[in-house]
Chain A
Amino acid sequence: ETGVTQSPTHLIKTRGQQVTLRCSSQSGHNTVSWYQQALGQGPQFIFQYYREEENGRGNFPPRFSGLQFPNYSSELNVNALELDDSALYLCASSLEGLGTGSSPLHFGNGTRLTVT
């Protein structure tokens, strides 16, 4: 069983640029969630995708956007990067989708984004 994989592992960008982060969900999982983890903080929910549709969003501006593909892999796009976007971005997949409760999230190892 393949776990959640994220790419790249590290990335350095300049303020104002755009970035795309990628995530392959665990085999059989149809739901992908993205979290931002700033240094020394707990992860914060960005959004969730279920069967290619966004079905929930945290308190992040529209310049954070995403996609989910038919194979359930996902992308996180961030436009107009700001210094505060520097963080570890975590992708998590799960089996169930629409608010059905206790399906555990399986996290990838994250992408470390540094904005200079």
Chain B
Amino acid sequence: GDSVTQMEGPVTLSEEAFLTINCTYTATGYPSLFWYVQYPGEGLQLLLKATKADDKGSNKGFEATYRKETTSFHLEKGSVQVSDSAVYFCALSKTQGGSEKLVFGKGTKLTVNP
């Protein structure tokens, strides 16, 4: 079945460091891909998305490119801030019957130290 694999955390970086969180997927067809972020005690917020191959999603300095040939959607940010500390989830969308659902990876916890 469809699945998402993320690099295991936790990831600890210093402020202004470069961030990469790897994400690969297995899916039939051409799913949309997403990154969600979860801050402590909160629900998930959509960070960015891409709906077709070679699309780049970007938001708040984060970027990810939909790579069909490598089935990947790695998250990057050039210079992280303490406020970026959170858990990041990669996800794909799957339409099954009449509904659309998200299939999530296990999440990667990021801690940014000042």
> For residues 55 through 109 of chain A, which have their beta carbon under 8 Å from a beta carbon of chain B?
55-56, 58, 90, 92, 97-102, 104-109
- B96 and A56: CB pair below 8 A? yes
> For residue B106, which residues in chain A have a CB less than 8 angstroms away from its CB?
40-42
Give the distance to chain B from A48, nearest Cβ to Cβ, in Å: 4
Counting residue pairs across A and B whose Cβ atoms lie within 8 Å, the total is 76
A21 in the interface, Cβ–Cβ < 8 Å? no
Q: How many residues of chain B get a CB closer than 8 Å to chain A's CBs?
A: 27
- B101 and A42: CB pair below 8 A? no
> For residues 28 through 60 of chain A, which have their beta carbon under 8 Å from a beta carbon of chain B?
33, 35, 40-45, 48, 50, 55-56, 58
Give the distance to chain B from A113, nearest Cβ to Cβ, in Å: 15
Q: Given A99-B95, A99-B98, verify A105-B46 contact (CB < 8 Å).
A: yes
> For residue A101, which residues in chain B have a CB less than 8 angstroms away from its CB?
32, 51, 93, 95, 100
- B101 and A33: CB pair below 8 A? yes
- A50 and B98: CB pair below 8 A? yes
Q: Given A43-B104, A107-B43, verify A102-B99 contact (CB < 8 Å).
A: no
- A55 and B99: CB pair below 8 A? yes
- B103 and A56: CB pair below 8 A? no
- B101 and A48: CB pair below 8 A? yes
Query: Can you offer 29 A-B residue contacts whose CB atoms are under 8 A?
Result: A4-B43, A42-B4, A42-B91, A43-B44, A48-B100, A50-B98, A50-B99, A55-B98, A56-B96, A56-B98, A90-B43, A92-B43, A92-B44, A98-B98, A98-B99, A99-B95, A99-B96, A99-B98, A100-B100, A101-B51, A101-B95, A101-B100, A102-B51, A105-B44, A105-B46, A105-B102, A107-B45, A109-B41, A109-B42
Interface of B toward A, CB cutoff 8 Å:
4, 32, 36, 41-46, 49, 51, 89, 91, 93, 95-107
Complex Cα distance, B93 from A89, in Å, reads 19
Complex Cα distance, B89 from A63, in Å, reads 28
Beyond the given A104-B46, A104-B49, please list 9 additional residue pairs across the A-B interface where CB-CB is below 8 A.
Answer: A42-B106, A43-B44, A43-B89, A45-B103, A90-B44, A101-B95, A102-B49, A109-B41, A109-B42
